[in-house]
Amino acid sequence: MYKILIVDDEPQIIRLMQEFLIKMGFEVAEATGGEDAIELLRSDIKIDLMIVDLKMPKISGIEVLSEMNKLNRKQPTIILTGSIDTSRYLKELKDLGCTIKDILYKPVDLFELLDLVKNKLKIA
């Protein structure tokens, strides 16, 4: 079973995606901010895919991705954002191995999320 880590500072967003992904057969872990995410990344937890919010207080999604790279964790990533204008983040995201195709906009369309998850995990 694939394990997905959802990182977002909005508990209702986590809950919505978590319930849906569990129904779709995935195992889900959660982090309610960048600090929690980095703590999990430093542990031995198996993560097949990470969904991370771009803008969070204290530690941003970009900082989480940067730490993930420093720890040599290579799981695929989906970026969440409520912002329409992500152009100012694109260079940083590209430097961290993400592309515009990795971005999912809020409010989250659950079936778009599922398609992106399947694509990232290379499953039908």
CB–CB of 62/50 below 8 Å? no
> pLDDT digit string (tens) for 24-69?
999 999 999 999 999 999 998 999 999 999 999 999 999 999 999 8
pLDDT of amino acid 93: 76
The identity of residue 102, as a single letter, is: D
* Superfamily name with CATH number, domain 3-121: Response regulator (3.40.50.2300)
pLDDT of amino acid 30: 98
pTM: 0.91
> pLDDT digit string (tens) for 91-107?
777 777 776 678 899 99
In this predicted structure, the answer to whether residue 85 has a pLDDT above a threshold of 70 is no
The identity of residue 38, as a single letter, is: I
pLDDT of amino acid 28: 98
Query: Order of strands, edge to edge, in the sheet holding 3-7?
Result: 27-31, 3-7, 49-53, 77-81, 103-105
The identity of residue 99, as a single letter, is: T
In this predicted structure, the answer to whether residue 90 has a pLDDT above a threshold of 80 is no
Calculate the alpha carbon distances from 20 to 49, 54, 114 in Å.
15, 21, 9
pLDDT of amino acid 13: 96
Q: Cβ–Cβ contacts within 10 Å for residue 38, how many?
A: 20
pLDDT of amino acid 86: 66
